[in-house]
């Protein structure tokens, strides 16, 4: 691991980070100055967009002055362009040009309700066009008017497909950044909710936003997040998974160090607890940092259901994780080396089933595990109409055929199926991937050293988990190091009125999230009246 870290150590780049306008457009050879002459400005813009077919321009008249509306047709809604920009400008040629020598007067007269920005340089003008603005230029004006009239069609808000729940909000993030920010703002109506914008990717210039609660978030963690984002030096970032690889503390760990979700209520809850959310334009998945090991066993539905039921389900999740890790390897170890650990009747049953199997236990279980992984991947990649059918029917048919052909035993099919089903209990998909990978390592260790190999692998895994850090915070906190105050929401969930503090490992500026809360009870007056009636 250390050798790989040395070979692929992340290098800091003084020129990386948020690309400034000057760096971006000087690299492309774009002149910066916005000219007083409309003709020269149009010529410069045409030289920049001469190869693209979606560049469009419409000539207009503002009094006796020449004007032009420039835009990229693929970045805005043309119906809105016509109704909000072109229709008001059709009467502009009838007015005296002296009244609109200032671009701000033109905006007030024709676009009072449209979101706008002023472009005082050609760099700014090009940037606004790339972001879906319609740019209005008028001859003899020293700046252009960029109008944000709305983007193209986008996917409607639907229920998340990867983290479904029974009770709770059903809306999910989409690929539009502003929509995602609005879903969080809808839940947290607080002026201390801050969204800071960055541009990442030297070629894609993708918009990235971090969200946090000012006055609650730890400023040191916030500074570290900003620093890592500013060090991102990539040509393009298309998903938050790309961002995760650049900001994670240990890129060679099987375990995910950054929590991701497409649920707005989950992001809102984490922001309120003092964590930082990372949004990226073009993806519905949002990152949460810092994230610890126990975060991947929690679901937003845990806080919408009774706490007794939630606590029981959480215990099931931790048990399922251990079953996914160790169940197949325990079968290999016991059937190969430790027959004495099985009851005699069970041992006779297992060995009788394996009597006609030509392979040793490790080859037998690897054959079934790989078959199941192939079926799982095929079910994901197949068209949705047949993918689920392929997974279910394929597993039944192949499993039954393998048993009848004498390639595997019946008990092995049960073990592989149960451990595979247990891997789906985790609320976060990429955490279950880690368990699936480590399971193969344990199988090989069990085939080599038996139970000693399994315990040795688990010890190494725990040592690795203890050594991990996520933005300076131990990955296993609040278990190791143990923090008593945080145990109200780890393995079991205490009632909401009893969970009064934010996680102590975040070292929040406002550690108390609920003051003067107590167990709910009937009013004292009703209690006294009830006693009198009983007497």
Q: Write out the chain's pLDDT in tens, 535 residues.
A: 443 343 333 433 433 444 444 444 544 555 567 778 888 888 888 888 877 888 888 888 877 778 888 888 888 888 888 888 888 877 766 555 555 667 887 888 788 888 888 888 888 888 888 888 889 888 888 888 888 887 767 788 888 888 888 888 888 999 888 889 999 999 999 889 999 989 888 788 888 999 999 989 999 999 999 999 998 888 888 889 899 999 998 888 889 999 999 999 999 999 999 999 999 998 999 999 999 999 999 888 888 888 899 899 999 999 999 999 999 999 899 888 888 888 888 878 877 777 777 788 888 888 888 888 887 777 777 766 555 666 666 666 677 777 767 777 778 888 888 888 888 888 888 888 888 889 999 999 999 998 999 999 999 999 999 999 999 899 999 998 888 888 888 888 888 888 888 888 888 888 888 777 777 777 766 555 555 565 5
Tokens 């920049």 sit at which residue? Answer: 48
Instruction: Please give the pLDDT value at position 221.
Output: 92
CA distance 315 to 327: 17
- 121 DSSP 8-state letter: B
411, 350 in Cβ contact below 8 A? yes
- Kindly give the interhelix angle for 410-423 and 344-353, rounded to the nearest 10 degrees: 100
CA distance 301 to 312: 13
Positive or negative: CA dihedral 432, 433, 436, 441: negative
SS3 call for 184: helix
Among residues 520, 502, 516, 518, which one has the least CA distance to residue 269? 502
CA distance 88 to 66: 16
Instruction: Please give the pLDDT value at position 454.
Output: 93
Among residues 228, 238, 244, which one has the least CA distance to residue 284? 238
pTM over 0.75: yes
Tokens 């145990």 sit at which residue? Answer: 487
Q: What is the dihedral of CA 502, 504, 509, 510, to 10 degrees?
A: 30
Instruction: Please give the pLDDT value at position 387.
Output: 57
Positive or negative: CA dihedral 234, 237, 242, 245: positive
Left, alpha or beta for 472 (phi > 0: left; psi -120 to 50: alpha)? left
Long-range contacts, stretch 148-156, CB < 8 angstroms, 24+ apart: 148/114, 148/115, 148/116, 148/117, 149/76, 149/77, 149/80, 149/81, 149/84, 149/85, 149/114, 150/76, 150/77, 150/80, 151/75, 151/76, 151/77, 151/176, 152/74, 152/75, 152/76, 152/77, 153/77, 154/179
pLDDT in tens, 342-354: 888 887 887 777 7
CA distance 268 to 172: 12
Q: Measured in whole angstroms, how far is the alpha carbon of residue 188 from the centre of its chain?
A: 19
HSE-CB for 462 with a 13 A CA cutoff: 9
Among residues 225, 105, 254, which one has the least CA distance to residue 472? 225
- Kindly give the interhelix angle for 384-404 and 361-381, rounded to the nearest 10 degrees: 160
pLDDT in tens, 470-516: 998 999 999 988 888 888 888 888 888 888 888 888 888 888 887 77
SS3 call for 94: helix
DSSP codes of every residue in 408-429? S-HHHHHHHHHHHHHHTTSSSH
């Amino acid at each position: 691991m250390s050798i790989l870290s040395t070979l692929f150590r992340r290098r800091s780049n003084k020129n990386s980070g948020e690309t400034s306008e000057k760096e971006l457009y000087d690299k492309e050879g774009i002149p910066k100055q916005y000219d007083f002459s409309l003709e020269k400005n149009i010529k410069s813009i045409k030289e920049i967009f001469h190869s693209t077919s979606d560049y469009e321009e419409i000539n207009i008249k503002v009094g006796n002055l020449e004007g032009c509306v420039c835009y990229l047709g693929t970045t805005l809604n043309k119906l809105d362009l016509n109704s909000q920009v072109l229709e008001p400008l059709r009467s502009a040629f009838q007015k005296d040009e002296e009244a609109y020598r200032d671009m701000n007067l033109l905006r007030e007269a024709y676009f009072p309700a449209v979101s706008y920005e002023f472009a005082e340089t050609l760099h700014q003008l090009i940037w606004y066009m790339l972001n879906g603005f319609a740019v209005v230029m008028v001859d003899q004006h020293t700046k252009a008017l960029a109008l944000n009239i709305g983007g193209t069609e986008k996917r409607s808000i639907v229920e998340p497909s990867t983290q479904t729940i029974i009770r709770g909000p059903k809306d999910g993030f989409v690929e539009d950044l502003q929509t995602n920010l609005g879903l969080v703002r809808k839940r947290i109506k607080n002026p201390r909710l801050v969204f800071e914008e960055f541009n990442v990717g030297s070629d894609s210039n993708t918009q990235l936003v971090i969200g946090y609660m000012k006055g609650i978030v730890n400023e040191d963690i916030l500074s570290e997040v900003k620093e890592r984002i500013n060090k991102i030096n990539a040509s393009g970032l298309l998903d938050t998974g790309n961002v995760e690889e650049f900001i994670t503390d240990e890129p060679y760990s099987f375990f995910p160090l950054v929590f991701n979700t497409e649920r707005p209520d989950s992001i809102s809850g984490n922001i309120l607890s003092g964590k930082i959310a990372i949004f990226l334009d073009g993806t519905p998945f949002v990152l949460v940092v810092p994230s610890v090991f126990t975060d991947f066993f929690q679901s937003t539905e845990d806080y919408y259901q009774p706490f007794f039921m939630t606590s029981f389900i959480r215990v099931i999740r931790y048990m399922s994780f251990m079953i996914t890790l160790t169940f197949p390897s325990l079968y290999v170890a016991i059937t190969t080396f430790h027959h004495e650990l099985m009851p005699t009747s069970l041992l006779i049953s297992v060995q009788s089933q394996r009597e006609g199997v030509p392979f040793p236990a490790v080859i037998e279980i690897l054959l079934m595990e790989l078959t199941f992984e192939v079926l799982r991947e095929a079910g994901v990649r197949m068209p949705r109409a047949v993918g689920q059918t392929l997974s279910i029917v394929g597993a039944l048919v192949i499993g039954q055929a393998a048993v009848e052909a004498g390639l595997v035993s019946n008990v092995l099919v049960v073990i592989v199926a149960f451990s595979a089903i247990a891997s789906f209990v985790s609320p976060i998909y990429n955490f279950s991937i880690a368990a699936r990978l480590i399971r193969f390592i344990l199988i090989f260790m069990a085939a080599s050293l038996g139970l000693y190999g399994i315990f040795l692998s688990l010890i190494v895994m725990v040592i690795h988990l203890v050594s991990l850090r996520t933005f300076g915070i131990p990955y296993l906190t609040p278990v190791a190091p143990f923090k008593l105050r945080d145990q109200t929401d780890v393995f079991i969930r205490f009632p909401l009125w009893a969970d009064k503090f934010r996680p102590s490992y975040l070292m929040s500026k406002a550690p108390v999230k609920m003051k003067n809360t107590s167990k709910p009870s009937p009013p004292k007056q009703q209690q006294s009246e009830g006693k009198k009636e009983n007497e």
